[in-house]
Structure 1
Amino acid sequence: MNLNAYQSWKQRVLSLRVTAFDIPLIARNIFILSIIGKLFYGNFAASILMFPISIPWFVIQKERKQRKENHDLGIQFKDAMMSVMAAGKAGYSMENAFSEAIHDMRLLYGRSAPICRELQRIEQGIRNSISIEEMILELGKRSNNKDIEEFAGVFAVAKRSGGNMTDTIERCVDIIGKKMEVENEIDVLIAAKRMEAQIMQVVPFGIMVYVGLTNPGFFDSLYGNAFGIVIMTVCLIIYIAAYILIQKIVDIEI
């Protein structure tokens, strides 16, 4: 691994925030490592030596979880902007339109939805004399959602130039909506392949468990000796490489 790759991974690790919501993910990873240690090396203690593997694995899973949350936030943001647009057409100012959107999003997604918290944050920023476009841009950067960032840029230009804000929002929402339709179509097309990939990831472990239960002692010759450890380590490396390749194939971003 070269220096740039190392620095990139270091930055990715440091940028992640581990919260209480990550405990189930960490517990699942520990459980899977324990199973791998038992199946590949004959004892659960071997999973301790594989702990370094769990760090990049957790980083990848955490980033995938964040992308899913940011994607869901983008969908909710689109609906919120549609509510703002409707309020604007009804004669509300932009500031009041965002306040009205909070009520609509609470009815649509519930009070605990991320978009409700973000709209409340924007409303609080407006009260503190922070411009709406600055708050939306900050939301886009914090959530790493390009659609929200681009919307903030267009919104800021339209507001400074005195353009029709409701028409601007309507055009932006339409573009975001079309992009999401394409994403949904892609998800539908590869949903079956993703399911197949998940099954194939479990199959090797299922085979090893089945053979171990039906033929006790079948793997004993591979446990507790250098040759067996090397063979099982090579098999594990091949499995990890196949896992990474599968994830790169099925993870399609627009």
Structure 2
Amino acid sequence: MIEDYGTYSFSVREKMRYFLEGLLMAVTLGYLFYKSIMGIIMLCPLILIHFKLKKEELAQKRKWQLNMEFKDGINSLAAALGAGFSVEHAFEEAIKDLRGMYPNGAMIISEFAYIANQIQMNITVEKALYNFGQRSGMEDIISFAEVFSTAKRTGGDLIQIIKTTANIISDKLEVKREIMTMLAGKKLEANIMKYVPAGILCFLSVSSPNLLKPLYHNIFGIILMTILLGVYLYTSRLINKIMNIEI
């Protein structure tokens, strides 16, 4: 069970990986734009920025995975209710079904198990689902919790409501998947565009070092390269925002 799906916590291996990635970025840009140890040190805060961006990216990926698992979860819940189980026991049956689809560490299995435990502690299903929706921060789960609560309170057809909700979520996921497929090529082009300026600078540094020599180790060169670096980092961040699809 995850306390907040909007906040991602790195494992030790991930911390090492993204630290090295950030350090490599700082060293590369520091060398290309300043060719000095001081320039590399000044760019070390990029490591923290890289950490932050990776956390956002991984949190988005986790939400996408949770959304897909949740769709299967409510389908299993609808099947359990259709088999005659009460709402309270339907979650336990849904967990058995989900274990055949996902490994034990899957988020939806952990969440349904947590809901089942809450129910055993006399916490209402509505409250448990509401808590799940708030922690996930996902519109589909929050909406499902609200609809489920209303249907249970008013005596609505829970099975049909859950099936309808599952179909709606499936349709939304399919549309998002199609959009992501169409944008995959554009994202590759955008990533290439981000690396081209640094690549050109690297090529000139190797092939024609005397051409760039006036831009290093003097006040005018440092100011100019700092401006160019700022523009480069800003445009890279802008490209990321444009190509980012909110899950």
User: Structure 2 length as normaliser, TM-score?
Assistant: 0.88
177-186 or 20-29, larger mean C-alpha shift = 20-29
Q: Show CA shifts across 1:2-35 (max 9, x none).
A: xxxxxxxxxxxxx856432540223312221221
1:42 and 1:223 in contact (8 A); partners too: yes
* Match status 1:66 vs 2:59: yes
State which of 87, 97, 111 in structure 2 corresponds to 1:94.
87
Q: CA deviation at 1:165?
A: 1.0
Q: Residues 44 and 109 of structure 1: is their aligned pair in 2 closer, same or farther, counting only changes over 3 Å?
A: farther
State which of 78, 88, 96 in structure 2 corresponds to 1:103.
96
State the distance in 2 between where 1:18 and 1:229 align.
Answer: 37
Q: Show CA shifts across 1:75-95 (max 9, x none).
A: 101111101111111111222
2:144 and 2:165 in contact (8 A); partners too: yes
* Match status 1:36 vs 2:29: yes
**Match of residue 19 from structure 1:** 10
15-24 or 233-242, larger mean C-alpha shift = 15-24
Q: CA deviation at 1:57?
A: 4.6
Gaps of 5+ in 2: 1-5
Q: Show CA shifts across 1:150-181 (max 9, x none).
A: 11000111111111111111111111111112
**Match of residue 213 from structure 1:** 206
Q: CA deviation at 1:129?
A: 1.2
State the distance in 2 between where 1:162 and 1:44 align.
Answer: 70
Q: Show CA shifts across 1:24-62 (max 9, x none).
A: 223312221221111111134423223445444533331
Paired-residue identity, %:
36
Q: Residues 164 and 27 of structure 1: is their aligned pair in 2 closer, same or farther, counting only changes over 3 Å?
A: same
Q: Supply the AA of the counterpart residue of 2:226.
A: T
* Match status 1:48 vs 2:41: yes
State which of 84, 99, 118 in structure 2 corresponds to 1:125.
118
Q: Supply the AA of the counterpart residue of 2:175.
A: V
State the distance in 2 between where 1:135 and 1:156 align.
Answer: 10
State which of 212, 225, 236 in structure 1 corresponds to 2:229.
236
Q: CA deviation at 1:238?
A: 1.1
1:16 and 1:59 in contact (8 A); partners too: no
Q: Show CA shifts across 1:125-153 (max 9, x none).
A: 11111122222221221121111111100
| Structure with more relative contact order (C-alpha pairs < 8 Å, separation 6 or more) | 2
1:70 and 1:143 in contact (8 A); partners too: yes
* Match status 1:75 vs 2:68: yes
Q: CA deviation at 1:105?
A: 2.1
User: Structure 1 length as normaliser, TM-score?
Assistant: 0.86
Q: Residues 130 and 16 of structure 1: is their aligned pair in 2 closer, same or farther, counting only changes over 3 Å?
A: same
Q: Residues 158 and 44 of structure 1: is their aligned pair in 2 closer, same or farther, counting only changes over 3 Å?
A: farther
State the distance in 2 between where 1:239 and 1:122 align.
Answer: 47
Query: How large is the RMSD of aligned CA atoms in angstroms?
Result: 2.0
113-122 or 69-78, larger mean C-alpha shift = 113-122
